[in-house]
Amino acid sequence: MTRTNATTLPVRASAIAILCALAVPGLARAESAGMEYKASMDKMNAAMMKGMDPDPTKAWAKMMVAHHQGAIDMSKTVLKETKDPMIRQMAEKGIKEQTEEQKMLEEWISKH
């Protein structure tokens, strides 16, 4: 019987993860996209919290800028991964529209 110690476990776990990724087509891509989505959401949530303002109108505008950036970041992730024409079209449209709305909101914020 082979004895396992703490230094071999991480190596074995990473080897198993690599084998699973090779065995299941798209698994590595899905994990990568999932990590990108999570990072986008974490960034968005932190920025939305920073947008809190005593004035509810300003708070909404500031939080929406962050929310739109989250949508833009997630759309960029899906564009790297999908070949689906409808999803691609929606993501591209979302990036364009969310960017325009961000500019409008930032302009409003700068005046108030």
pLDDT per residue rounded down to tens, the chain (112 residues): 555 555 545 556 555 655 555 555 565 666 788 899 999 999 999 999 999 999 999 999 999 999 999 999 999 999 999 999 999 999 999 999 999 999 999 999 999 9
Domain limits for position 63: 28-111
Could you tell me if residue 5 is inside a domain? Answer: no
Could you tell me if residue 3 is inside a domain? Answer: no
Overall number of domains in the chain = 1
**48 and 67 in contact (C-beta within 8 Å)?**
yes
Could you tell me if residue 9 is inside a domain? Answer: no
Could you tell me if residue 20 is inside a domain? Answer: no
Could you tell me if residue 19 is inside a domain? Answer: no
Distance CA 17, CA 49 (A): 35
Q: Tokens 């990724």 appear where?
A: 21
Could you tell me if residue 12 is inside a domain? Answer: no
**53 and 62 in contact (C-beta within 8 Å)?**
yes
Q: Dig out the tokens for 73 from the structure.
A: 């970041």
Could you tell me if residue 15 is inside a domain? Answer: no
H-type helices in 1-112, by residue range? Answer: 8-23, 27-50, 56-81, 85-111
Could you tell me if residue 38 is inside a domain? Answer: yes
